[in-house]
Each structure stands twice: as C-alpha cells, then as structure tokens.
C-alpha cells in the first residue's frame, strides 16, 4: 500500500509481520487489459482465483485507492471472490474514481490497532501511541479509543518503531497512520498506511495534548517537528463513537436519509468534544457518507471516559433521521467491551441474530413503565391548565382524581398501573412495586432528567399521539409505549387493527439509494436467496435477494432509478 513494495517492507525490520500477500494488484479496467502490451495478461477473475489459491481462503478484496470500508469484501470461496470482485470494483470506481483492487490474506478474529505517526521534511518522525479500532461493521470503524487496553509497553514500542521506520523509509512528511492487525498473542501484521488525517484522530489529540492539524500545517510549511519521542505522553483515556444516520437494526446500520428537524450536541457536559459539519435543518442525502458527527469523551481513565460517553449519548438530540445511538450505547456498556475482550467480529459475535436494541432488566422495565405513566399524567394535567396573568379566563372544573388508573402496553404486554402525584413527584404502582418518579416535567424540553427512586435517568420523549402511543428514548433505545386510561383501554378493544402485509412475496428497498442493476424480468423463475437487484447507497453496493422461490409477477424499478426506504422493487406470484 501507499507505494511501498514488499521488498521495502521486509527490509525495515526482520521482526515485522506482514499480511501474507502484500499484494496482488488487480486491474479491473478492461481498457488496461486491451492494450497491446497487456494482451497476455490474465483476466481480473483469473488473477483473483490464482491469488486466492496462493494465499488460501479467506481473503480480503479491497480498493487500492480506498478507505472507510468502501470497496472492501471478504471472500471465503471462489463464488464469493467473483461477487466480491464485481461489487468492490464498482464501489471503488464510484467512491474513488479508481477501480483497481488489492487482494490479501484475511486474518480471522484480529484486533485492529493503528499507530499515529508524524514526520517532517527534515528526516524526523515520531509515533504518537496507538488507537484501538476493533469495533467495526462492514469493515468500517464504529468505536475507537486511545490507548488500547490490550497493548503492553513492549508491544506498543515495537509497533511504534516499525511505523516510524516505515515513514522514514518513504520520507513521509505530515501526519499519517500505520494500521496493523494484532492477533491474540500480540503478533502484529502490517495492513496499510493512510497518508492523511483519520476520522479517529481526536482520541490521539486527547491523550497526547498535540493538535495534529496544527502540526500538519507546520510540517507543510517546512518547520521541523517540535517534539521528540520522549516528549509524547499518554495522559488519561479517550473514546470516540461515530454517530451515523443509519438504522442499526438493519445489518448493524443501513443508511437513513432525511432533514435534521432538531439537533443539539451534548457539549455542555464535561470532557465531551463533538466534531461535526451539520446543524439543524441540514439534509442527509444518499450521495455522501452517512456520518453525522464524531462524539469524543475524555477522562482520567477508561472507566471515566466510558461513563462520560454513556451520558453524552443520552444527551444527544437528533431528530429527523434514524441514527445509531442505540447501538453505540449498547457497545460501550457491554461486559465484553468493558473487559477489553474485543476483535473485529465483535458485533456479529455479540449479536449473532442482529442488533435488537437494549434488553430491559426487570427493574429497568418497571422504571420505563413508571416514567411513561408519569409523562402521560403530566401531559393530561398540563392540558387542564389555562392561565393568563395567574387568573383563568375560562372557568374550568378540575377533575378530582386522586389516582389515575392506566393501561400501559410495552412489547405486547399490558400492565395495569396506578399513578398519583404530589407536586413534581409521581407515585406509581406497577406490577406490585411502588416507584417514586421526580422531575421538573418541562414537557417542552427535548431532554428530560428523571429521578426514579434515587436513580437519575436522561430520557427523550420523541413523540406522543392522541391515541396513546408514545416513543420514549430510554437507555439509548427507542421504545414504543401505549398508555391509555382504564376506560379508553376497554373501548380500544373494539378498534380494528391494520392487517400486516405479506412480505414474503414482495421485495422492498431496505434503504434509500440508486438502483445499479436489475437481474430479473416478469415471468422469470427465481430461487430463494437469488440476486434480484443491486442498490447503491452512500457509495456502498448492496445485493437484494429473493425471500422465497417463485415467479416474478412485476418489476417496479430499473437501473438508474432513485428509490426510498420501503419502496416496492419486485413482486412475486
């Protein structure tokens, strides 16, 4: 990568490990293959097959000009290699204007740890410690931290020295990152070098105190580095979460588009930094990466940094688009993550059936029911008040209700709740337990700090309908709660429910995007799992497959069409 030959890398240090392959360069451009001096070259698919045989499966196919997980596929057999070549080359051309690919040996269950380097034009270079970037989905980082809980000082120094040796070998000047894969025995393997500033650079700035952008500008101007290796510290701990406009319940994050109707960053909290380029009213479109911001928290140790991240995620207000805050919050409170037992397959290992949101404990469930009931009564009480200059213009007879009998539905379970209030405190009886819920009850605020029996929670009431439906963000996850009075709940039994659509016979777009290709036409027979069409969303190509075996009844899209989430693509008989 980055113009470095295998021979150059091997000369750097005899102890350096390389991903076996660095690397077959695959020219997928047919123009190159048609040049007279290239007529004897094998086809791209032949190159891939030969390389795979040489390396052994699994292999990683990736864009040579790539980054951010774009144009990257893992292949475990010949068929996946062919599909990976097709999708990766198309994504590479779309994202980077360069469809050339690399193929390398894929190391199973590694940690992704990278070293930040800084070099000048006078032959000086230093390494600025490491960043742990193992929490990924689709080969794209989601949570990063510095330093790594896994590395010891010996391994850190060895990796840093190798990174600096690499930078000096190519006379690199500016900030850059040397990425490694690290196995369970702390053997590290060179992956690639990113000759630029990276998304996760703020965590390095937090623990070293260096402003990397300022240092880059100084180096570009020709100044020598101001710091020696001995001057680079590790002070405290920093964690970064990538906040995306994505639906985390679909493949850990399929893109979401829309306009940010409300947006407020949690920068009022201590130790919180937010790097973003959007504001209320900004549009998230299908044409760019779906990242909303980089949320960084800093603390004296890892425990404090993670607690501050938890609070920051609870206080982050994002309305108008679906976002991945629920997934981010679950990752940082997961016991495996807290213990440092992570690798690049963390998400698929922890959530083998996909991400389902936060699983409420018995106490948390009661807290949510009590909070929802208190909110319902608070809204009802507010609706009874009509004041102007402390005198009522219209005489209102206040109902004498000491207790509110409510029916609260959560996860298809109906609970009978009795609530009463005394000033700002509600006493709520739910499932045999009595909880006291206290708050300022500022119902116009998008954030609400609630105390439930001494436990402080920050919640967001995202929506409330006259029919009793409430959307409440609690512990990062949005829960649909249905609250009605006892009388309304009895009458609600007579309301007809909308019949759910049979989704096995239709294919709908799971995300907004552009149709790249359609592989079927009316009358075709398709098998379950067969590719129907390909949709590109935010530079990533996604293969849409048939949910069952059948005959194609109608096709509602063609190549080049822009589709929205839920749009009908194909119907089967």
Catalytic residue annotation: 192
Dist. CA 168–CA 164, nearest whole Å: 6
- Give the single-character DSSP code of 42: P
Under a CB-based contact definition with an 8 Å cutoff, are residues 293 and 324 in contact?
A: no
Dist. CA 110–CA 300, nearest whole Å: 28
Pairing of strands 188-194, 17-18: parallel
Dist. CA 220–CA 176, nearest whole Å: 13
DSSP-derived secondary structure for 149-197: SS--HHHHHHHHHHHHHHHHHTT--EEEEEEEEE-TT--EEEEEEE-S-
| CA 346 vs CA 88, 183, 329, 332, 456: distances in Å | 23, 14, 14, 12, 30
CA 390 to chain centroid: 49
| CA 534 vs CA 15, 256, 531: distances in Å | 44, 17, 8
**Residue among 237, 255, 239 at smallest CA distance from 247:** 255
Under a CB-based contact definition with an 8 Å cutoff, are residues 205 and 39 in contact?
A: no
Cα radius of gyration rounded to whole Å, the chain: 28
Dist. CA 347–CA 314, nearest whole Å: 21
- State the virtual CA torsion across 566, 570, 571, 573 in degrees, nearest 10: -150
b (16+ CB within 10 A) / e for 219-256? beeeeebeeeeeebeeebbbbbbbbbbbbbbbbbbbbb
The number of CA neighbours under 13 Å toward the Cβ of 399 is 10
């Amino acid at each position: 990568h980055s113009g470095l030959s295998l021979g150059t890398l091997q000369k750097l240090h005899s102890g350096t490990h390389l991903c076996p392959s660095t690397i077959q360069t695959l020219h997928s451009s047919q123009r190159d293959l048609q040049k007279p001096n290239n007529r004897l070259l094998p086809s791209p698919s032949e190159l891939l097959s030969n390389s795979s045989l040489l390396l052994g499966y699994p292999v990683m196919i990736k864009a040579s000009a790539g980054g951010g997980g774009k144009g990257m596929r893992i292949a475990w057999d010949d068929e996946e290699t062919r599909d990976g070549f097709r999708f990766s080359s198309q994504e590479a051309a779309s994202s980077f204007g360069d469809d050339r690919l690399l193929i390398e040996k894929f190391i199973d269950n590694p940690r992704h740890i990278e070293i930040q380097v800084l070099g000048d034009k006078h032959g000086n270079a230093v390494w600025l410690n490491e960043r742990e970037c193992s929490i990924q989905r689709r080969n794209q980082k989601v949570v990063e931290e510095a330093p790594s809980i896994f590395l010891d000082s010996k391994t850190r120094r060895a990796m840093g020295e190798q990174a600096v040796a690499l930078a000096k070998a190519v006379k690199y000047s500016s900030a850059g990152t040397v990425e490694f894969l690290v196995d369970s025995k702390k053997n590290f393997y060179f992956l690639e070098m990113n000759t630029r500033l990276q998304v996760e650079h703020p965590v390095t700035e937090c623990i070293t105190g260096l402003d990397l952008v300022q240092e880059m500008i100084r180096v570009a101007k020709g100044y020598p580095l101001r710091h020696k290796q001995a001057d680079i510290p590790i002070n405290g701990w920093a964690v970064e979460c990538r906040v995306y406009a994505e639906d985390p319940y679909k493949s850990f994050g399929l893109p979401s588009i829309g306009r940010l109707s409300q947006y407020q960053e949690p920068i009022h909290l201590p130790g919180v930094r937010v790097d973003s380029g959007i504001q209320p009213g900004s549009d998230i479109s299908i044409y760019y990466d779906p990242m909303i911001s980089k949320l960084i928290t800093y603390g004296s140790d890892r425990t404090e940094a993670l607690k501050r991240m938890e609070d920051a995620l609870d206080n982050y207000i994002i309305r108008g688009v679906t976002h991945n805050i629920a997934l981010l919050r679950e990752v940082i409170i997961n016991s495996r993550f807290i213990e440092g037992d992570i690798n690049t397959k963390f998400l698929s290992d922890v959530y083998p059936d996909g991400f389902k949101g936060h699983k409420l404990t018995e106490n948390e469930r009661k807290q949510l029911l009590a909070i929802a009931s208190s909110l319902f009564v608070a809204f009802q009480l507010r609706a009874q008040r009509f004041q102007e200059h402390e005198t009522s213009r219209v005489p209102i007879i206040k109902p004498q209700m000491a207790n509110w009998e409510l029916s609260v539905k959560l996860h298809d379970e109906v609970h009978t709740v009795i609530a009463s209030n005394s000033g700002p405190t509600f006493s709520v009886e739910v499932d045999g337990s009595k909880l006291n819920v206290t708050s300022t009850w500022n119902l116009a605020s998008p954030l609400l700090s609630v105390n439930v029996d001494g436990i402080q929670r920050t919640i967001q009431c995202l929506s409330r309908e006259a029919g009793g439906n409430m959307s409440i963000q609690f512990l990062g996850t949005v829960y649909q709660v249905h609250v009605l009075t006892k009388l309304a709940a009895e009458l609600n039994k007579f309301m007809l429910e909308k019949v759910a659509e049979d989704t096995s016979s239709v294919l709908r777009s799971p995300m907004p995007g552009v149709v790249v290709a359609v592989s079927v036409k009316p009358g075709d027979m398709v098998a379950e799992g067969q590719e129907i069409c390909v949709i590109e969303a935010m530079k990533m190509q996604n293969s849409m497959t048939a949910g069952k075996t059948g005959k194609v009844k109608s096709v509602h899209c063609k190549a080049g069409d822009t589709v929205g989430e839920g749009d009908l693509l194909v119907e089967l008989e």
